[in-house]
């Protein structure tokens, strides 16, 4: 990592509405330039001590090495305003409690607990007494409570992705979720730069080599079940799995933020990557944005409007993380996918206080569909808009995508105006497929018939409208469904 790359990555995190980066215990203490860049950017840092997913002996010579390492890095980093918490370990207390370590580690054999509950807090209290120390992630504040409990401390959610679909995120309302994630391949350009299989397929040797999670590719396909059709081409596999990753994390973050009175934070695993690999990252190893980056930007917006189930009803929930009140008319429609309005409402003053999540229960004629597979709810407050579908895409009658495209050259790039002639769900401009250095300002845009959206794309290469090919450069959930219906 160079100093410039630190600045660039932190800038990308800030642009995605991320306000805290967790430096993981399976990594390193970063160089001074990282913390300096976070100080300047106003980016908070959660710093793990370097213990992760393992048992560690507490005897010499490791004991002295640990103390020396901790003293050196606490003294080195304690002056940084961005550093807000020292964390004792990643998943080690949880591992001892729930991963079958207890029968293996005999009574009286050390495994690291003395570091987390004794040595590290003592060193932090001695060297950096004004900064919080927490024994682990996950941890519930005491050894008397299961370390990964919902109701206490911080929680990791990994049954979702590992074993079950992302809809299960709604089963959890943690106090603070310090780790959860979902996989997808890197950008198409990064994949082609690093994998040279001919033919290139999800099962080809190079693609498999660049997947390091156990049963990772199988989990990618399993995760589509109930949401999107199983893709039959490499291009569709790539887009479908990227789209599913973005939706999974957007689903989780919106759910957690809607319970703001209980859940005070969500840290996504992971932001960036160090190798061109299928992984949980939002930026791939080349720094190119995956659709997940845009989903995080939307879901972590300081002002979020989302539609969530509440007490057998549907509620529009406004979440306000700004220091100013959010006061606005709220309006909504239940519509057919062709744009026909079936029911609508307006409420002239919804007041969402500072740092509050405000519920507005939707009227029954909005929340109850006539034909669930052909309807959508759209709710709006000022410039914020939320969509709700009564069924998943595999059961939704999404039309074949129809739209018009106009391209205008502007300074440092071009504007791509898309005007929908049919309902478009999660429209994405895959800019890197036009120019490896190009970046689009937005993705995952849903449009009603007749609506337009302008994508701004940074690129030095002239782009013609003919190059904006539907189903390749402009992608949406519609074209996945229409190919396999």
Angle at 298 between CA 266 and CA 414, to 5 degrees: 140
Q: How far apart are CA 92 and CA 120, in angstroms?
A: 14
The question of whether 33 is a catalytic residue gets the answer no
Does residue 455 contact residue 410 with C-beta atoms inside 8 Å?
no
DSSP code of 283? B
The residue from 91, 254, 321, 375 that is catalytic is 91
Give strand pairing partners of 470: 474
The question of whether 91 is a catalytic residue gets the answer yes
Q: How far apart are CA 15 and CA 297, in angstroms?
A: 7
Ordered DSSP codes for 414-455: EEEEEEESS-EEEEEE-GGGT-TT-EES---EEE-TT-EEEE
Q: How far apart are CA 366 and CA 484, in angstroms?
A: 30
- Strand 474-475: give its sheet, edge to edge: 445-447, 424-429, 474-475
Report the half-sphere exposure of 184 (CA within 13 A, side-chain side): 34
The residue from 59, 126, 151, 179 that is catalytic is 179
Angle at 357 between CA 352 and CA 359, to 5 degrees: 85
Does residue 431 contact residue 446 with C-beta atoms inside 8 Å?
no
Of the candidates 349, 377, 381, the residue with the CA atom closest to the CA atom of residue 365: 377
Active centre residues (catalytic): 91, 179
């Amino acid at each position: 990592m160079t100093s410039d790359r630190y600045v660039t990555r932190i800038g990308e995190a800030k642009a995605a509405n991320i306000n805290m980066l967790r430096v993981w215990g399976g990594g390193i203490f970063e160089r001074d330039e990282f913390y300096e860049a976070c100080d300047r950017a106003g980016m908070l840092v959660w710093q793990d001590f370097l213990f992760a997913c393992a048992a560690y002996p507490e005897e010499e010579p490791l004991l002295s090495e640990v103390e020396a390492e901790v003293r050196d890095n606490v003294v080195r980093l304690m002056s940084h305003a961005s550093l807000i918490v020292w964390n004792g370990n990643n998943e080690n207390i949880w591992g001892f409690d729930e991963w079958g370590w207890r029968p293996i580690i005999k009574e009286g054999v050390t495994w690291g607990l003395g570091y987390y509950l004794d040595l590290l807090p003592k060193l932090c209290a001695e060297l950096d007494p004004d900064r919080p120390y927490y024994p682990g992630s996950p941890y519930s504040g005491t050894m008397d409570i299961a370390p990964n409990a919902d109701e206490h401390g911080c929680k990791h959610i990994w049954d979702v992705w590992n074993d079950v679909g992302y809809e299960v995120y709604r089963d959890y309302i943690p106090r603070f979720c310090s780790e959860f994630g979902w996989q997808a391949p890197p950008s198409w350009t990064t994949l082609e730069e690093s994998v040279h299989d001919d033919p290139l397929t999800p099962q080809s040797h190079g693609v498999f080599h660049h997947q390091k999670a156990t049963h990772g590719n199988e989990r990618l396909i399993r995760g589509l079940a109930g949401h999107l059709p199983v893709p039959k081409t490499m291009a569709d596999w790539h887009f479908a799995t990227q789209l599913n990753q973005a939706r999974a994390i957007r689903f989780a973050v919106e759910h957690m933020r809607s319970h703001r009175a209980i859940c005070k934070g969500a840290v996504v695993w992971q932001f960036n990557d160090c190798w061109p690999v299928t992984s949980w990252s939002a930026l791939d190893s080349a720094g190119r944005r995956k659709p997940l980056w845009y989903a995080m930007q939307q879901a972590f917006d300081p002002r979020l409007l989302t539609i969530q189930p509440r007490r057998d009803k549907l509620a529009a929930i406004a979440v306000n993380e700004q220091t100013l009140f959010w006061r606005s008319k709220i309006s909504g429609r239940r519509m057919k996918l062709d744009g026909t309005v079936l029911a609508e409402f307006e409420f002239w003053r919804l007041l969402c206080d500072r740092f509050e999540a405000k519920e507005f229960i939707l009227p029954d004629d909005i929340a109850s569909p006539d034909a669930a597979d052909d309807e959508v709810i759209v709710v709006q407050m000022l410039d914020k808009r939320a969509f709700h579908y009564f069924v998943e895409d595999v059961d939704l009658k999404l039309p074949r995508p129809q739209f018009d495209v106009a391209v205008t050259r502007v300074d440092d790039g071009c504007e791509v105006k898309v005007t929908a002639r049919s309902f478009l769900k999660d429209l994405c401009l895959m800019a890197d497929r036009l120019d490896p250095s190009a970046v689009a300002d937005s993705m995952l845009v849903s449009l009603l018939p007749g609506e337009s959206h302008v994508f701004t794309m940074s690129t030095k290469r002239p782009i013609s409208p003919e190059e904006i090919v539907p189903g390749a450069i402009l992608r949406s959930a519609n074209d996945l469904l229409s190919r396999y219906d």
